[in-house]
Structure 1
Amino acid sequence: MQVYKPLFGLCLTAVIITIAPLFWHIRHRNFPAIFLIFWTLIQCSFQLACSIIWGGEDVETMWDGHIFCDIDVKLLIGTGVGILGSVAAMARHLAMIMCKSSLVYNTKAGRRKQLIYDILFAFGTPIWIMSFHYLSQTNRYDIMQYSGCLATVDNNYLSLFMLFIWTPIWGLVGCYYAGMTVYRYFLIRREFREVLQSSQSGLTVARFARLLIFCYLVIGVSFPLSIYVFYLNCVAGFHAYSFEAVHSMMDFQTVRRYPAESPLFDSWQGFVIAFLLFFFFGIGSDAIDMYRTWLVSLGFKRVFPKWKWLNQKPQSTGLTGLYGTGDESLETKFGTMQASILQKSRAE
């Protein structure tokens, strides 16, 4: 078994560096970001496995991928729209915070309603696409060298409206909310701090800016890619839909194999988003404190007693994220664990 080392190394790195941002967002209950990391990890994990299984030179003699590829293609056809839907949910939160009349985070009912919206944004359309994929699925799947499992879709008008059109739509939704956030900021820039505080979102100015810039960058990576893929499908042309015609093109159990000189261009998307996640949420002061907490809990303080460990009380942000209550205590599970470890550290 040969491994395609460039893709393997990048995907493995992507999986590792998203762990810290995942814990950071779980601690602060930033559900849209958690959902984004979920889709990113799915994409990177499956691409990592594919670079190992189909990274050799002779794709015709390699494993046929039964069961593994059946799961892979269903999840991956929802990944692109899931990523854009999650980012759109993040941008929507920021736009609502900028609305002075919005009291969405001030009540439990409002926060529950926003969570429902987030779940629909991040998972509604992917589940829709996965569910209707079979209607236009010509054969079980294809396998391409280096890239691995590929979903097969017939270019008919049903596919256009059921599958292909959703990634550009969610990209536009994300662009709309991100643009609305900036527009509303300029309308209330003199009152920005007061509006941010009164929203009870728990965001500081720095974190708000970090989230907004992150949304713009992820949209800047994913949206053009979705437009390009949609363009390729349109250039190929569409025809009338017929269930019998789609499923009589070939034996459904057929697994076609294709050699390639390099992985497909969209194989690198997950790594780029993972790098952005780590850059924005994995190297900040909060993340550094979290790393130190992990090292102390693993006993590194006893091994290196002269190092400066967690000798200062971590800053209480007065937040638990977009769904927090604004309580000054560290009320989340991870925050409570960190506070306990810090107390033991100071006692030693």
Structure 2
Amino acid sequence: MNFKSDPSYPAYPIFSFLGFVLVLVPLPWHLQAWNAGTCLYMIWTSIACLNMFINSVVWHGSALNKAPVWCDISVHLIIAVAVAIPAASLCINRRLYKIANGSMVSVSRQERRNAVIIDLCIGLGIPIIQVPLQYIVQGHRFDILEDIGCQPSQVNTPPAYPLVILWPLMISLVSACYCALTLRAFMKRRTQFSEFLNAANSSLTLNRYFRLMALATMEYLFTIPISIYGLTLWLNHPGAMAPFNWAAIHFDFSRVGIYPAVLWRYNRDNETSVELTRWSVPFCAFVFFAFFGFADEARRHYKMAFWAIARRLGFQPPQKKQASPFVRMPGSKARPQPNSSTSESLPVYAPRTTYNPQRNSFSSEKHVPSVYSSAYHDLESGIDFKTPGSASTFSPSSADIPSSLHHDNLIDPPGIPRAL
């Protein structure tokens, strides 16, 4: 059979490098939202893309042991990333479920810090633990596949399944359970969901919530079939499953396996498994960028970065025309035009007021500063205000307040805390 050196070259290195760059673009504004799961997803995916990019370039058309130290680092990254991306997706699904379930409506700074620590234990701790676990069933130092680069070595022995092989599948199944519970909680509270998001996290909008849910759903929908396919290949391996023996497995551990393309591509199932594994990394990067690289906040940051560079080249952004706040009609006096700078809207939830029978709301004007006194007489709507530095409260009579502004009509939706 005649094998090409690499039918996907140079497409794969190009896509890997683009994935390494693009997946980090939304990182700054996700850091501001304290979303550890999403940040871990971006960082791990970016590291994996860079690792695969270097391997595909250095070992293009070659299977020689050119950089043994780099291969030691590279195989450890491959082992960690195999569970890191599903673990980051689990953190995302877990956070979305807590928001949908209403358990993150009122979160203090300490609680948010604890949530970040838990996400770091899942998305960073599990991948780090995976490296020493893989060493237990590691047959030799590493393998080198032509056109692919460094690959971890693993013996088909019974402990390899619970220690290494089943981890991505198990994590993805837990993510799927969280996703199902999130959808169930959303269906229960769909009419109040926007208020839940505003109360839980001001930086998490409804669109960003559903983009995160779609990203985490796509991750486990692809990870579960690929993991099952790889598990099937291990169970149907041509060689017999070797019983676990530490001395036999780690005998001649410093050996490096060299596999030209004509050998590892000869088995079609083996070739499919290797290609699926390496192409899934830039695929995750582009899927993430498709969800978050064209959002409103992303376009706003792109515009800011563009004009920051353009100003250095002598260009200035076009000035926005501001409409005059006064509109003068023929034969009439100037009257302010209602806009965002001159008029304010009532809050959705008004603060609760308490009635004190010992205090008369119509206090004498000798306790009122002149500024508030004039403002009080010019007031046309029933809005209460309190004089700074004074305990006296001034409010118009009940007859002057429109019926739509009476306190009895300001009823909170059930389950939503009143804004302070």
Q: Which has the larger displacement, 295-304 or 80-89?
A: 295-304
> Do the aligned partners of 2:27 and 2:42 also contact (CA within 8 Å) in 1?
yes
Q: Which of 9, 12, 17 is 2:17 aligned to?
A: 12
Aligned CA distance change for structure 1 residues 140 and 311 (closer, same or farther; 3 Å): farther
Distance (whole Å) between structure 1 residues aligned to residue 188 and residue 280 of structure 2: 35
Displacement, 1:240? 2.9
Query: Which amino acid is 2:94 matched to?
Result: R
Equivalent residues in 2 for 1:200-219 (5 A)?
Answer: 200=201, 202-219=203-220
> Do the aligned partners of 1:32 and 1:87 also contact (CA within 8 Å) in 2?
yes
Deviations 1:81-119 (A, max 9, x none): 11001001001111000113x147611221122112101
Deviations 1:216-250 (A, max 9, x none): 112222232222222222223644311011012xx
SS of the residue corresponding to residue 143 of structure 2 reads strand
Q: Which of 81, 86, 89 is 2:88 aligned to?
A: 86
Query: Which amino acid is 1:26 matched to?
Result: L
Query: Which amino acid is 1:242 matched to?
Result: N
Distance (whole Å) between structure 2 residues aligned to residue 185 and residue 255 of structure 1: 52
Distance (whole Å) between structure 2 residues aligned to residue 136 and residue 309 of structure 1: 65
Q: Which of 64, 67, 87 is 1:65 aligned to?
A: 67
Partner of 1:333: none
Query: Which amino acid is 1:246 matched to?
Result: I
Distance (whole Å) between structure 1 residues aligned to residue 321 and residue 94 of structure 2: 38
Partner of 2:275: 264
Higher radius of gyration, 1 or 2: 2
SS of the residue corresponding to residue 147 of structure 2 reads coil
> Do the aligned partners of 1:104 and 1:111 also contact (CA within 8 Å) in 2?
no
Partner of 1:273: 284
> Do the aligned partners of 1:97 and 1:201 also contact (CA within 8 Å) in 2?
no
Deviations 1:52-72 (A, max 9, x none): 11112xx34x34331000011
Distance (whole Å) between structure 1 residues aligned to residue 259 and residue 228 of structure 2: 25
TM-score, with structure 1 as normaliser: 0.81
SS of the residue corresponding to residue 204 of structure 2 reads coil
Distance (whole Å) between structure 2 residues aligned to residue 169 and residue 133 of structure 1: 16
Distance (whole Å) between structure 1 residues aligned to residue 14 and residue 72 of structure 2: 25
Equivalent residues in 2 for 1:17-36 (5 A)?
Answer: 17-36=22-41
Aligned CA distance change for structure 1 residues 285 and 85 (closer, same or farther; 3 Å): same
Where structure 2 has 5 or more consecutive residues not aligned to the other structure, the ranges are 1-5, 266-270, 323-420
Partner of 1:167: 168
Aligned CA distance change for structure 1 residues 21 and 223 (closer, same or farther; 3 Å): farther
Query: Which amino acid is 2:247 matched to?
Result: E
Q: CA RMSD in A?
A: 2.4
> Do the aligned partners of 2:101 and 2:185 also contact (CA within 8 Å) in 1?
yes
Matching of residue 288 in structure 1 with residue 289 in structure 2 = no
Aligned CA distance change for structure 1 residues 176 and 225 (closer, same or farther; 3 Å): same
> Do the aligned partners of 2:93 and 2:175 also contact (CA within 8 Å) in 1?
yes
Query: Which amino acid is 2:78 matched to?
Result: L
Where structure 1 has 5 or more consecutive residues not aligned to the other structure, the ranges are 313-348
> Do the aligned partners of 1:156 and 1:239 also contact (CA within 8 Å) in 2?
yes
Whose relative contact order is higher, 1 or 2, with alpha carbons under 8 Å and at least 6 apart? 1
Q: Among the aligned pairs, what percent are the same residue?
A: 26
> Do the aligned partners of 1:171 and 1:219 also contact (CA within 8 Å) in 2?
yes
Query: Which amino acid is 2:91 matched to?
Result: A
Partner of 1:138: 139
Matching of residue 242 in structure 1 with residue 253 in structure 2 = no
Equivalent residues in 2 for 1:292-331 (5 A)?
Answer: 292-300=303-311, 302-305=313-316, 308=318
> Do the aligned partners of 2:48 and 2:281 also contact (CA within 8 Å) in 1?
yes
Distance (whole Å) between structure 1 residues aligned to residue 24 and residue 80 of structure 2: 22
Query: Which amino acid is 2:174 matched to?
Result: V
> Do the aligned partners of 1:155 and 1:239 also contact (CA within 8 Å) in 2?
yes
Partner of 1:317: none
Aligned CA distance change for structure 1 residues 309 and 173 (closer, same or farther; 3 Å): farther
Partner of 2:177: 176
Partner of 2:196: 195
Query: Which amino acid is 1:298 matched to?
Result: I
TM-score, with structure 2 as normaliser: 0.67
Partner of 2:357: none
SS of the residue corresponding to residue 20 of structure 1 reads coil
Q: Which has the larger displacement, 122-131 or 42-51?
A: 122-131
Distance (whole Å) between structure 2 residues aligned to residue 311 and residue 289 of structure 1: 19
Distance (whole Å) between structure 2 residues aligned to residue 221 and residue 166 of structure 1: 15
Q: Which of 60, 80, 90 is 1:55 aligned to?
A: 60
Q: How many residues align?
A: 304
